[in-house]
């Protein structure tokens, strides 16, 4: 059996990018937590910055480039997703939203998902609850309880960022272990029982 794969989506616009750094650290925390369970996974980076023009073109033509089609496939076929965006005007970036807009409805249903965001100030931290969670709830992804927001002052300080990253990584790993491996078929089968809430899975763990 192949190793479960985690798609790590980062929408940072800079080089280097604090958004990519947070995504990498969430990835490492999840892989460590999975190893603690005696399980091993592999992660694939889906960096959106080089795909910006392809995403915009696809929204107009509905004809994805080869690179964009490959990126979408990595996400929808993954066993879990880590999705991290910079914050603009108390919301996710346009690039981040546009990428998830071009994924067909239903393709993210039931996928264990961890969310993260970066911003210049902690006053943007509400983006997790006001923008990101509603969007992924609509997409029916299985979002873990903890979301990590990293402000500029969090890096290199005793801000609790490391603890929050470790906690979210454990939550994502726990959910991946609790859920059966995803089937190749459409997650909405005739029984209508494919979607199980995180709380329900914890109750049966």
Going from the N-terminus, what domains does the chain have, and what CATH number goes with each?
5-204 (3.40.50.360)
User: What pLDDT is stored for residue 24 in this prediction?
Assistant: 97
Over residues 155-184, the mean pLDDT reads 86
Overall average pLDDT of the 97-119 stretch: 96
Alpha helical stretches, state H, the chain: 18-36, 52-61, 66-76, 94-101, 127, 133-138, 161-178, 198-204
Q: Could you read off the pLDDT of 13-72 as tens digits, one per residue?
A: 988 899 999 999 999 999 999 999 998 899 999 999 999 999 999 999 989 999 999 999
Q: Is the pLDDT of residue 115 over 70?
A: yes
Mean pLDDT of the chain: 88
pLDDT at 127 over 70: yes
Answer whether residue 9 shows pLDDT above 90: yes
CB 201 within 8 A of CB 195: no
């Amino acid at each position: 059996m192949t190793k479960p794969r985690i798609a790590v989506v980062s929408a940072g616009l800079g080089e280097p990018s604090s958004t990519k750094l947070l995504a990498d650290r969430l990835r490492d925390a999840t892989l460590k937590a999975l190893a603690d369970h005696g399980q091993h996974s592999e992660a694939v980076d889906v960096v959106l910055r080089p795909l910006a023009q392809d995403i915009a073109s696809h929204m107009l033509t509905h004809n994805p480039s080869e690179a964009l089609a490959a990126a979408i496939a990595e996400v929808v076929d993954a066993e879990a997703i880590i999705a991290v965006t910079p914050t603009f005007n108390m919301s996710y970036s346009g690039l981040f939203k546009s990428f998830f807009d071009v994924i067909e409805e239903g393709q993210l249903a039931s996928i264990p998902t961890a969310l993260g965001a970066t911003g210049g100030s902690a006053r943007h931290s509400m983006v997790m609850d006001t923008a990101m969670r509603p969007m992924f709830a609509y997409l029916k992804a299985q979002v873990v309880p903890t979301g990590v927001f990293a402000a500029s002052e969090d890096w290199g300080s005793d801000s609790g960022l490391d603890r929050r990253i470790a906690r979210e990584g454990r939550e994502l790993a726990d959910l991946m272990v609790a859920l059966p491996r995803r089937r190749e078929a459409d997650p909405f089968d005739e029984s209508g029982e494919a979607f199980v809430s995180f709380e329900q899975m914890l109750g049966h763990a």
